[in-house]
Amino acid sequence: QTVVTQEPSLTVSPGGTVTLTCASSTGAVTSGCYPDWFQQKPGQAPMTLIYSTSNKHSWTPARFSGSLLGGKAALTLSGAQPEDEAEYYCLLNCAGTWAFGGGTKLTVL
């Protein structure tokens, strides 16, 4: 069973830049793992931010971007806003089935 690992928590200053990463126990994350990224605020359903590594939805703020970085999937937030404080989850399919990471709690402070 694939284990997907994210940083448990990160802090970013308002206006700052932060990168969240997503690693797979099966090895390097590639575009073939179809990395997706989700944002979840307390009491709300998740929202899809990024799909298939770097593709944005119409509702995804421009300050979010997805990429591959050093064998991991990465979500970069450039110009953090207070409303970006949330839990962020990645999702990978590197070995035939989908697996979520444990989530990164992002604090904007």
Q: Which residues bind other proteins (CB under 8 A)?
A: 1, 34, 36, 38, 40, 45-48, 51-52, 55, 57, 87, 89, 91, 96-103
As a whole number of angstroms, the distance between CA 104 and CA 10 comes to: 7
Name, in order, each residue with C-beta under 8 angstroms of 26's C-beta and a sequence gap of 6 or more. 2, 94, 95
Considering beta carbons, is residue 62 or 97 the nearer one to other proteins? Answer: 97
Considering beta carbons, is residue 52 or 81 the nearer one to other proteins? Answer: 52
Considering beta carbons, is residue 18 or 50 the nearer one to other proteins? Answer: 50
Amino acid at 73: A
